[in-house]
Amino acid sequence: MSAITCKFGGTSLADAACIREARAIIDANPERRFIVPSAPGKRTPDDRKITDLLYLWHNIALQGLDASEPRNIIADRFVELARELGVSFDIQPLLDEIAACVCDSESPDYMASRGEYLNGRLIAELLEATFVDPAECIKFDDTGNLDPATYDLLGARLQGPGRFVVPGFYGSTPNGAIKTFSRGGSDITGSIVARASNSKVYENWTDVSGFLMADPRIVPNAKHIAEVTYQELRELSYMGATVLHDEAIFPVRGPGIPINILNTKAPGDAGTRIVASRESKFPVCGIAGRAGFSMVNVEKVGLNKERGFGLQILSILDHENVGWEHMPTGIDTISLIIRDDELKDKGPAIVKEIERRCSPDRVSLNKGLAMIATVGVGMNHHIGIAARLCSALANAQVNLRVIDQGSSEMNIIVGVDEPDLNKAVCAIYDAFDNWG
């Protein structure tokens, strides 16, 4: 029988009622055999996520202060969940074990992972499923990347009848220490489990019915996206569409396992299907943007002929340990677009070093840039896309500071002043909605 991997996000498991809904979804299809839970999330907008409380607990305890408040809130929530769900196992010894280990490491990863671990234990009991601890079979290598041996190790643990519960968000390093993915990383675990179990589909159950063509806070009636390719989604989620972790597609992309983004509150909704390839009627499938970029502009007459000029600049960034996003160039100019959270306060040092090592005519650092990606596989060989996009921005009185089209011709990235971000997204959306 071919199987399905189901990952449930924190809001879909926030309380006993949500967990019962998740169980009804799992029970509705016997193929849903591999279950990946997040830690319980917020029950109301001003509630706290268990993971946030675990980070807080670790932080307070490391400073030698009294962490009883977060510890008690966490304990109460799990005890209450177990009671309301009628789960028979005693959660208290597990909580005591965590409390005893809180200061064992400077790294918060062990503590942060315990939300998924406890929820996984609880849900495995509820579903009468086999519990598989990712510490034993999701492995990171010495550089912090996923060790490909994970797929065989985990695959071997997912053999046999019945259901399996694999908590999201963590694995372990070669020396056995717990290590988490970045925040929201249970999506990545779901994808790893789907691949290791050879699932026919990876269902990612969350609190929305898939993706919209643009952020609904900016474009209120943005259309639903029925199907999107892995590649399109990478572009969109990287640039701000946050439904799925932007690394979650890597494990399933090779074997071509589709991901369905589905809504636990509306399980009958179609959701969005993420696939390897698709036919597209319209050139543009989505528009995503975000603020918080800076641009380093380097000018030197004839720099395009100067051997190793670009390389020097990149090695300066490398030396400062700063990654870059885009590098539009002209004959006499090179610009580097860098995320502010990557650049931190290193901008002036980078400018100084470029002045020292590259002797440019001019170098400047400009902040306050927002980047917008307009994405769609149907844009390839479609005449007039950039013209339409630029005139939409011009009509909306938005100044275009950067434009960059990927050679795959499936995205056009523009940079605008941060205050123009929403206006620009609306203008691009209106220009491409139903056009093509």
Residues of this chain that interact with ligand ASP (CB under 6 A) are 10, 38-39, 49, 51, 115, 168-169, 183-187
Cα→Cα distances 296→182, 229, 307, 404, Å = 28, 32, 20, 15
Give whichever of 185 and 360 is closer to ligand ASP, judged by the CB atom.
185
Comparing CB distances to ligand ASP, the nearer of 11 and 294 is 11
Least gap, CB of 51 to ligand ASP (angstroms):
4
The CB-of-31 to ligand ASP minimum distance in angstroms stands at 23
Residue placing its CB nearer to ligand ASP in the complex, 25 or 36: 36
Residue nearest to ligand ASP (CB): 186
Residue 316 CB, shortest distance to ligand ASP, in Å, is 33
How far from 162 is each of 124, 153, 159, CA to CA, in Å? 11, 19, 9
Q: Whole-number minimum distance, CB 187 to ligand ASP, in Å?
A: 6
- Closer of 195 and 401 to ligand ASP (Cβ): 195
Q: Judged by CB, which is closer to ligand ASP: 10, or 210?
A: 10
What is the spatial distance between Cα 10 and Cα 23, in angstroms, rounded to a whole number?
Answer: 14
Nearer to ligand ASP, 186 or 260 (CB): 186
Number of other CB atoms surrounding residue 384 within 10 Å:
11
Q: How far is the CB of 364 from ligand ASP (least distance, A)?
A: 37
Choice between 36 and 337, CB closer to ligand ASP:
36
Q: How far is the CB of 151 from ligand ASP (least distance, A)?
A: 20
Q: Based on CB atoms, which residue is closest to ligand ASP, 117 or 293? A: 117
HEC string for the chain: CCCEEEEECHHHHCCHHHHHHHHHHHHCCCCEEEEEECCCCCCCCCCCCHHHHHHHHHHHHHCCCCCHHHHHHHHHHHHHHHHHHCCCCCCHHHHHHHHHHCCCCCCCHHHHHHHHHHHHHHHHHHHCCEECCHHHHCEECCCCCECCHHHHHHHHHCCCCCCEECCCCEEECCCCCEEECCCCCHHHHHHHHHHHCCCCEEEEEECCCCCECCCCCCCCCCCECCEEEHHHHHHHHHCCCCCCCCCCCHHHHCCCCCEEEEECCCCCCCCEEEECCCCCCCCCCEEEEEEEEEEEEEECCCHHHCCCHHHHHHHHHHHCCCCCCECCECCCEEEEEEEHHHHCCCHHHHHHHHHHHHCCCEEEEEEEEEEEEEECHHHCCCCCHHHHHHHHHHHCCCCEEEEEECCCCCEEEEEEEHHHHHHHHHHHHHHHCCCC
Q: What is the smallest separation between the CB atom of 168 and ligand ASP, expressed in angstroms?
A: 5
State in angstroms the smallest separation of the CB of 36 from ligand ASP: 9
**Closer of 13 and 414 to ligand ASP (Cβ):** 13
Task: Tell the smallest beta-carbon distance from residue 429 to ligand ASP (Å).
Answer: 29
Q: Which is nearer to ligand ASP, 61 or 118 (CB)?
A: 118
| Least distance from ligand ASP to the Cβ atom of residue 107, Å | 15
Question: What are the distances in angstroms from CA 131 to CA 100, 157, 231, 410?
Answer: 23, 10, 33, 42
